[in-house]
Structure 1
Amino acid sequence: MLADLSKGTILYFTPVLMLTALLLSLFAYLAPTVMLHSQVALLTVTPSSALTQPGSSNAVDGPSIFLGPLGSCSRTNNEAGLICAPSSISPVYNTSIFTSDTPSSVISSPPEGAPAFMAISLALSVIFFIMYTAISFRHLMGKAGAVWEKPSVQRFSAWIGIFAFLLGLASSLIIFMWFGKAADDFNQSIQGQGSNGPQLIANTGNAFTMIWVAYAFFAIPVVVSLAKFHVLATK
């Protein structure tokens, strides 16, 4: 029974985890300019009196901006529609909606190349998902499954998974530190202006939560791929 459970987990559950990781990473990468315009972002700047009037619970109306790896979406007030910039791997965020006393200069695009490396990681993740799934279900492919039996093919698949995982995780960590510092600098500048400062607050967005969950799921198929070669190497 334990052997059947282990086999079922490896063959059927891990491809589902990999697909989930791929979709979460893709959603986080495309938001907010392509999809989920106001629901998912790496960094958000929204109206709030939390910094200028600590303890206040009054609703505030004002400009908002939602930043992602490929660009930003913004609106001038809570009732206005979102305007999204064209997607680009070298995005320029539209901060013209803010007043002159807003420290918008700290809101800048991440280091050049980071979104491109994330895109490369996504492409490699797609290849790894296809190869990993084919290897898992090779016993159902008849003669075509013989190709996926070859150790060289399985080794290549494992290397693709490792590169995709490390490249994507490293790029995400760099962007997380970049936007985390931007949020801290923005909020400190607002607080420094006292009660006369703009009623805004910056926060790292839920896209990072999606990314961390995605790479937690991604790690499992990668470990399974490496475990196969570890077992073979110790025979």
Structure 2
Amino acid sequence: MIAGLSKATTLYLAPVLTLTAIVLSLLAYLAPTLVLKDSVALLTVTPSTALVQNASHAVDGPSVWLGTLGSCSRLKKGAHVNCTIATLSPIYDLSVLPSSSPRLLLSAPTQATPVFIGLALACSGLFFITFTLISFRHKMGEKMTSMLDNPVIQRLSAWIGFFGFMIGITSFLILRMWFGKAADDFNNSIALQGTQGPQLIANVGNAFTMVWVAYAFLGVPVIISLSKLNVKATK
């Protein structure tokens, strides 16, 4: 039973988890400028009275969604959402925010971070292809099976997956610290203005939740690939 479960995990579950991880990471990377404009972001600025007075009530106003490649914004609920052009070195459009808001605290990360995430996604995509081919090599022709049985191919696939995992999760951890600090500084600045401050609040976005789930999924096939290398190396 254990052997059958292990085989099913390697053959069927691991490729599905890899593909799901790539899709989630890609959505988090492209949002909000290219996809999910007002739903997914790394950091959001939304209307709120939580920072300017004790009693909270519904309030309408500008909203901003910040991502890796750019930003989207709208003047009020129900208004048209405008997005910047997606680029590796974005300049966020914060013009909808009132002049009293600390806009300078909401800056984009360095260009290197989006580049590394793109590289990690490329590695993960290549790992998905090679890992799936290796897993189902027994169902292919003799020539393809012989090639995929080559330890060099399997070792290369495992290391591509490992580097994609490490580069990606490290880059997103840097973004999490960057935007977490930006949100805290933005909120503290508004709180210091008292009741005269803008009715806004910044929060770390749900894109990070998608990323953590993605890399939890991606860890399964990467560990399977590395464990195979370890078994072969100790024979």
Tell me whether 1:62 sits opposite 2:81 in the alignment: no
Q: Which residue of 2 aligns with 1:13?
A: 13
Which residue in the other structure is 2:145 paired with? 145
Give runs of aligned pairs for residues 203-222 of structure 1, distance below 5 A. Answer: 203-222=203-222
Q: Partners of 1:200 and 1:11 in 2: how far apart?
A: 49
Q: CA deviation at 1:85?
A: 0.6
Matching residue of 1:165: 165
For 1:230 and 1:192, the matched residues in 2 are separated by: 56
Runs of 4 or more, structure 1, over 6 Å off, are none
3-state DSSP of counterpart to 1:177: helix
AA at the equivalent of 2:77: N
Q: Give the whole-Å Cα distance in 2 for the aligned partners of 1:112 and 1:229.
A: 35
Aligned to 1:131: 130
Percent identity, aligned pairs only, is 57
Aligned partner of 2:58: which letter? A
Deviation string, structure 1 residues 9-52 (Cα, Å, up to 9, x no partner): 11111111101100000010010000100110000000001111
Partner of 2:26: 26
Structure 1 residue 203, shift from structure 2 partner: 0.1
Give 1:79's aligned amino acid.
G
Distance of 1:65 and 1:196 partners within structure 2: 21
Q: Structure 1 residue 6: deviation in Å?
A: 1.1
SS at match of 2:202: strand
Residues 117-173 of structure 1: CA deviation (Å, up to 9, x unaligned) = 100110111000000000001011122222111100000001101110111011101
Q: Residue type of the partner of 1:29? A: Y
Give the secondary structure class of the aligned counterpart of 2:7.
Answer: helix
Residue in structure 1 matched with residue 100 of structure 2 by the alignment: 101
Give the distance between the partners of 2:2 and 2:141, measured in 1 at CA: 27
CA distance in 1, matches of 2:131, 2:119: 18
Per-residue deviation at 1:54? 2.7
Q: Give the paired residue count.
A: 234
**Letter aligned with residue 76 of structure 2:** N
Q: Supply the distance in 2 between the matched residues of 1:140 and 1:77 (Cα, whole angstroms).
A: 56
1:199 corresponds to: 199
Aligned mates of 1:97, 1:82 — CA distance in 2: 11
- SS of corresponding position for 2:37: coil
Cα distance in structure 2, aligned partners of 1:104 and 1:54:
24
CA distance in 2, matches of 1:164, 1:95: 33
The equivalent residue for 1:231 is: 231
* Distance in 2 of aligned mates of 1:122 and 1:210: 14
Aligned partner of 2:190 in structure 1 is 190
Provide the aligned C-alpha RMSD in A.
0.8
Looking at structure 2, the residues matched to 204 and 147 of structure 1 have their Cα atoms a distance apart, in angstroms, of: 46
Give me the TM-score of the superposition, normalised by structure 2. Answer: 0.98
Unaligned 5+ segments in structure 2 are none
* Deviation of the 1:59 alpha carbon: 1.1
2:66 is equivalent to residue 38 of structure 1: no
Secondary structure in 1 aligned to 2:148? helix
**Corresponding position of 1:52:** 52
CA deviations 1:82-128 (Å, max 9, x no partner) are 00111001010001111211001000001221011100110111000
Aligned partner of 1:114 in structure 2 is 113
Could you say which residue in structure 1 is the equivalent of 2:89?
A: 90
Structure 1 unaligned spans of 5+: none
Distance 1:55 1:157 in 2: 56
State the TM-score, normalized to the length of structure 1.
0.98
